[in-house]
Every structure is written in C-alpha cells, then in structure tokens.
Amino acid sequence: MDKILRIDMGAKGGPQFKVEALGAYAGLGGRAMTSSVVAQEVPPLCHPLGAENKLVIAPGMLSGTSASMSGRISVGCKSPLTGGIKEANSGGQGAQVLARLGYAAVILEGKPEGDDLYKILINKDGVKIEKDNSLKMLPNYDLVDTLKKIHGDKITCISIGPAGEMKLGAASIAITDIEVRPSRHAGRGGVGAVMGSKRVKVIILDDTGLKNREPKDPEKFRAANKKFVEGLTTHSVTGQALPAYGTNVLTNIINEAGGYPSYNFREGQFAGASKISGETFADIETKRGGSATHPCHRGCVIRCSGTYVDKDGNYLTKQPEYETVWAHGGNCGIDDPDAIAQIDFLDDNIGLDTIEMGATIGVAMQAGLAKFGDAAAAIELVKEVGKGTPLGKILGSGAGVTGKVFGVEKVPVVKNQALPAYDPRAIQGIGVTYATSPMGADHTAGYAIATNILKSGGYVDPLKTEGQVELSRNLQIATTAIDSTGMCLFIAFAVLDQPDTFQALIDLLNAFYGWSLTGDDVTALGKKVLKIERDFNAKAGFTKEQDRLPRFFSTDPVSPHNITFQVKDSELDSVFNW
C-alpha cells in the first residue's frame, strides 16, 4: 500500500485519475487515513453532496496481509446526514483486495455534470473509468450479478443501490463478501449518497495474480499472528459466543439488562425478544440448511456471521446482525425472524443503513403511518424507499427528517444520526459515547457495552454515572486506533481482557512495518485522530450543544429500571479532556 488513487469525477472532458505517492499520509490506514484526508482536503462548510466533498475509501494498516481479522475497510467524507466528519466501517473483501492492489486509499473528488453513471475497474493492470448508464437504479444484488457475467466471479464490488443514486441520507455503500454477495455495508452517515453525488455506481476490484503484502520481519509476524489468534479463539466472547450465535447473541442479554429499546425507545424490554434472539436465528438457519457461522472476509477467525435461508432452503440474506434485528425487530415491535430477514435483504439491496432505517420505521410507526408489530407494513415502507416515492424519499432521509415531517416529538438521534440498539438510560456509558462521538450516535465509536454489561476490561455499573466518562473516553481512543489498523472491532473483547493479545496486535504492526510501537503510541494515534475529527466538526459549526442526547432521555424514565440518563452536561464536556 504505497500509493493513493485519486479520481476526479468532475474533470474537463470526463473523469480522470492519477496515482500518487502517500506523501503526508504515509503510515496511515483505515479511519486514520479517511479522517486525515477529509480534515486536510475537504472544506468543513462545504455542501456534503457538492463537488468540494470527497469520498475516501481506505483499507487498514494490516489489510491485505495474512494477519487474522484485518479485513475491515473505512469510508470517509463529510456526512450528508450529520453535517460533520464521517467514517463508516465495513467488512467484506474490499479492504483485503484493495490493499493487495497496493492502494492505501481511493479518493473520489469533484462532481460530473449531467446524469451519466460510471463504473471504475481496478486491477493489476491499472484503472479504467467507464460510462455505463445500463446500471442506473439497479439494486445491489442485481448489479453484482450483472457485473459477474461481464467481469467474472473473482471480483470484489464496492457499490451503491438506488438509495445512493437518489442521494438519500440513509444510503449505504455495499462491499461484497467471500461469495461475492453485496451483504456488507459501510452503513452510517449517508456515505452512499456522497458516492451517488459523484455519479459512481460501482468500483470493481480484481486482485487476480497478486499475493498478500509481505511483512518486514516474516518470522516475528507469524509468531505474533499465532499468539493473536490464540487469544481470540480462547476468549469466551470471540471464541465461543460470537461464532455460535453471531452478534445477535446480545438480544437476550441486553433485553434481560433492561437496555433493549422497544417501540421507538419507549420501553427497555421487548416481550418477543426470545423469538428473535441469536439462539433462535441460529436454530432456524441450521434446521433449514443455512449456516450459523460464517466469516465476512477471508482471514476472519471469529466468524460471527451466518447464512439465512427461507423455508425452502433458498438464500435470503446474510445472518442479520444484532443491530439490524433490534432496529427492524424490537424497536418496531416485530418478532418474526423471516420478516426481519426479508427487511435486511431489502436494506442491503436498496443500499440502506439498517440502523437508520429501523429507527426511521419506528418513528414512522410512532407517527401513525403503521402500527407497531405490523411486519407487512414495515416491509412496504422500506419498499417505498426503493421505489423513490415522495414518502420513500422522506423515510430514506433518516429518522430525524421523518420525525420533523410527521411531527414526532421524541426522535432518537444525535447529530441527526439514529441511536443504535442500546438504551442510554439503562446503559449510561453508551449514552456518553452516543452524545460525544464526532460521528453522531454510534455504538461502535466507544462500545461501553463491553464493560457495562459483558464485564470485559472490568466492570462499570451501567445504571450509575460514576466512571462512565472515563470508560467512554478510553474506549473511543482505543476504537479509533483499531479502526485504523483494519482490525475488526470485536477483537476488543480479547484485547481488553488479555494483555498478551493486545501486545500481539502491537507486535503484528511492528513486525510488518519495522516499527517499534508501544501501547502508548497506539493510544496517541487514537487521540490524534479524534482531535482531527473534532476540529473538523468545530469548523463545520458544531459546538458542545451537539454533544447531547435528545432531552427525553433525561426526562422520561424507561422501564424496567425506571431510570433516566443522568450524566451531566458538564461531564459530557469533559470527555475529551485527556
């Protein structure tokens, strides 16, 4: 990864590209790369869908190597949903293939005139940019099937569905998995709308004939990877719970803890939780001939995904993740696994963030557009987005817009981005992260659930305010660094509990690059990137008032604990005082 590919979609005479050295961005990957480029090159006050914004796609520092779990990819831009800086993270094959092709980043710049649509092909022979209007408004699965017939089944695709072409605030970017299915998504923040504004439908990657990136010290790298894998496979979460039941193993756990937001965040438990739990989904998948265990990219040893098939054994979607099951399930009062799986497929096919869409449907139900628990109505609402009807465009613009249009008072968003599947009143630490992350409400930005509920890295009582600021701060710093390596966030469970596993991660970086990093250096990287992101947001007009949860979380107690969010504003303002 010794080069950057810049593609100017607005160049005179048509899109142009150039390959350049890393320069000031040397040594960066993933989130560190995307946020650095956006902060350095994008005017903070620009319109997110205008020519001045840039879409940055970057594999992690260890992507394209034989390091386990190193296949996460970062997508960055100024977000059309939040108005601030954005990094959306995804699995799939994109990071590994792009890194093997030698690119530390692909940067889409400018904006073409007219309504022509383009595809970009990147392989060992170079780069081709082609106009292809036959791809217009194709859903992601149809798009990939079409491209496989032309380019073969060894490709990896980074694409947008109709939502991205319509430039909707909930639009995602799809990345194909090891079966070349567009089932992995950089979902949050409307990154798909930015790709759509550049008139790029798909980036096709082909690393045929290329090998893994080679470390500076192969022997030490292999030893570090062995120790790293041992740590992951022996930990109870990464070695047992996630492989057996996927991320949705959390449904019963969070429901029992009273932090499972139901009926648009009006209750903290859902009576139908057991019907849509990870255990239930795994049982359905296994009995029907699907799979409860599956890696989202090559080199994954946690294998927290799966394959969900219908009653006839036909592929329907990848195993819906916990956030998706919550968003379209308990949040909407729906306890039908098949309906949730169908909506998951629709979201992926249309190109929508499942969290944002689930929260949006919950707000729509609150507004009376459908009844809570009506799965058929929820499916039709999502289909409206795919059709591009006026109602569909409202819903596809996210929970914040939908709440305003239909006069809903209590809308669960921070920086206009929907809250994920943990109620901040019952799990106070995640509330701090939701409020203060530069990304808007985002559980992955500082996953306090690990310590508040799962007791990884110690224990901080989720119902009390003590220690929550420090917990969120430390996790936000650590997460930012992990997002830069290309490692899956789920390694954090083992890293938090096993000092040897954390050291193995550092050893992987050092052996690969010939560095001599320490744990303090990793912390320093996380702090540096967070500062870059917060500075960008400040220049974009954000103040401390944007680092707040919606007021109803502080005024309306949630069952069963009958508690409100109690962390004071002054404490929230101290999160980044390190």
Please answer whether residues 81 and 170 qualify as being in contact, where contact means their C-beta atoms are separated by less than 8 angstroms. Answer: yes
Is the CA virtual torsion 478, 482, 484, 489 positive or negative? Answer: negative
Looking at residue 1, what is its pLDDT? Answer: 79
Please answer whether residues 284 and 308 qualify as being in contact, where contact means their C-beta atoms are separated by less than 8 angstroms. Answer: yes
Looking at residue 472, what is its pLDDT? Answer: 98
Q: Is 270 exposed, middle or buried (0-12, 13-18, 19+ CB in 10 A)?
A: buried
Residue 176 and residue 293 in one domain: no
Note the Cα 18 to chain centre separation in Å: 28
DSSP 8-class letter at 361:
H
Please answer whether residues 521 and 510 qualify as being in contact, where contact means their C-beta atoms are separated by less than 8 angstroms. Answer: no
Residue 319 and residue 392 in one domain: yes
Q: How many domains does the chain have?
A: 2
Structure tokens at 458: 């110690």
DSSP 8-class letter at 334:
-
How many CB atoms neighbour CB 145 within 10 A?
14
- Determine the Cα–Cα distance for residues 197 and 556; give it in Å rounded to an integer: 40
Looking at residue 297, what is its pLDDT? Answer: 80
- The contacts of residue 521 (CB under 8 Å, 6+ apart) are none
**For 339-356, what is each residue's pLDDT tens digit?**
999 999 999 999 999 999
Residue 265 and residue 403 in one domain: yes
Residue 33 and residue 180 in one domain: yes
| Residue 82 in domain | yes
Residue 198 and residue 318 in one domain: no
266 pLDDT above the threshold of 90: yes
293 pLDDT above the threshold of 90: no
Please choose, from the candidates 309, 311, 331, 313, the residue with its C-alpha nearest in 3D space to the C-alpha of residue 322: 331
Which one of 359, 387, 422 terminates a domain? 422
SS3 content of the chain, % helix, strand, coil (to 5): 45, 15, 40
Query: Which residues constitute the domain of residue 105?
Result: 3-205
Please choose, from the candidates 510, 444, 517, the residue with its C-alpha nearest in 3D space to the C-alpha of residue 476: 444
Residue 282 and residue 400 in one domain: yes
- The contacts of residue 314 (CB under 8 Å, 6+ apart) are none
292 pLDDT above the threshold of 90: no
Residue 291 and residue 190 in one domain: no
Please answer whether residues 193 and 172 qualify as being in contact, where contact means their C-beta atoms are separated by less than 8 angstroms. Answer: no
Please choose, from the candidates 549, 212, 253, the residue with its C-alpha nearest in 3D space to the C-alpha of residue 413: 549
Residue 40 and residue 141 in one domain: yes
**For 33-92, what is each residue's pLDDT tens digit?**
999 999 999 999 999 999 999 999 999 999 999 999 999 999 999 999 999 999 999 999
Q: Which residues partner with 76 through β-bridges?
A: 56, 87
- Determine the Cα–Cα distance for residues 391 and 18; give it in Å rounded to an integer: 41
* Inter-CA distances, 326 with 173, 358, 474, Å: 21, 8, 26
Tell me whether strands 200-205 and 156-159 are parallel, antiparallel or unpaired.
antiparallel
**For 114-129, what is each residue's pLDDT tens digit?**
999 999 999 999 999 9
User: What average pLDDT does the segment 126-141 reach?
Assistant: 98
Range list of β-strands (E), 139-259: 156-159, 173-175, 184-186, 200-205
- Determine the Cα–Cα distance for residues 146 and 552; give it in Å rounded to an integer: 47
- Determine the Cα–Cα distance for residues 465 and 350; give it in Å rounded to an integer: 40
Please, which pLDDT band fits residue 302 given cuts at 50, 70 and 90? Answer: confident
For the CA atoms of 447, 448, 449, 450, the dihedral, rounded to the nearest 10 degrees, stands at 80
- Determine the Cα–Cα distance for residues 48 and 84; give it in Å rounded to an integer: 9
298 pLDDT above the threshold of 90: no
Residue 195 and residue 286 in one domain: no
Q: Is the pTM of this model over 0.85?
A: yes
**For 16-28, what is each residue's pLDDT tens digit?**
999 999 999 999 9
| Residue 194 in domain | yes
296 pLDDT above the threshold of 90: no
- At 59 the three-state DSSP class reads strand
| Residue 71 in domain | yes
* Inter-CA distances, 411 with 168, 402, 404, 555, Å: 18, 9, 9, 14
Helix extents (H) in 1-135: 30-41, 94-100
Is the CA virtual torsion 451, 457, 461, 464 positive or negative? Answer: negative
Tell me whether strands 3-8 and 103-109 are parallel, antiparallel or unpaired.
parallel
| Residue 320 in domain | yes
Tell me whether strands 291-294 and 200-205 are parallel, antiparallel or unpaired.
unpaired
| Residue 253 in domain | no
Residue 278 and residue 200 in one domain: no
The residue with tokens 């960008």 is: 536
User: What average pLDDT does the segment 225-238 reach?
Assistant: 94
Which one of 394, 422, 450 terminates a domain? 422
**For 198-221, what is each residue's pLDDT tens digit?**
999 999 999 999 999 999 999 999
* Averaged pLDDT of the chain: 96
Residue 45 and residue 182 in one domain: yes
Please answer whether residues 44 and 65 qualify as being in contact, where contact means their C-beta atoms are separated by less than 8 angstroms. Answer: no
Looking at residue 303, what is its pLDDT? Answer: 86
Looking at the chain, the whole-number percentage of residues with pLDDT higher than 90 is 95
| Residue 118 in domain | yes
Looking at residue 22, what is its pLDDT? Answer: 97
Tell me whether strands 118-123 and 200-205 are parallel, antiparallel or unpaired.
parallel
- Determine the Cα–Cα distance for residues 312 and 577; give it in Å rounded to an integer: 56
Please choose, from the candidates 569, 552, 528, 538, the residue with its C-alpha nearest in 3D space to the C-alpha of residue 432: 569
Please answer whether residues 102 and 64 qualify as being in contact, where contact means their C-beta atoms are separated by less than 8 angstroms. Answer: no
- Determine the Cα–Cα distance for residues 559 and 537; give it in Å rounded to an integer: 35
| Residue 242 in domain | no
User: What average pLDDT does the segment 534-561 reach?
Assistant: 98
- Determine the Cα–Cα distance for residues 351 and 211; give it in Å rounded to an integer: 31
Please choose, from the candidates 379, 5, 262, 319, the residue with its C-alpha nearest in 3D space to the C-alpha of residue 158: 5
Backbone phi, psi, residue 553, to 5° = -70, -25
CATH number of the structural domain spanning residue 408: 1.10.569.10
Please choose, from the candidates 288, 386, 385, the residue with its C-alpha nearest in 3D space to the C-alpha of residue 338: 288
Looking at residue 80, what is its pLDDT? Answer: 98
**For 311-339, what is each residue's pLDDT tens digit?**
999 999 999 999 999 999 999 999 999 99
Which one of 164, 180, 205 terminates a domain? 205
- Determine the Cα–Cα distance for residues 364 and 417; give it in Å rounded to an integer: 16
Q: What is the 3-state secondary structure (H, E, C) of 421-479?
A: CCCCCCCHHHHHHHHHCCCCCCHHHCCCHHHHCCCCCCCCCCCCCCCHHHHHHHHHHHH
CATH number of the structural domain spanning residue 91: 3.60.9.10
Instruction: Write out the DSSP string of 134-146.
Output: GGTT--HHHHHHH
Residue 180 and residue 266 in one domain: no
Q: Is 166 exposed, middle or buried (0-12, 13-18, 19+ CB in 10 A)?
A: buried
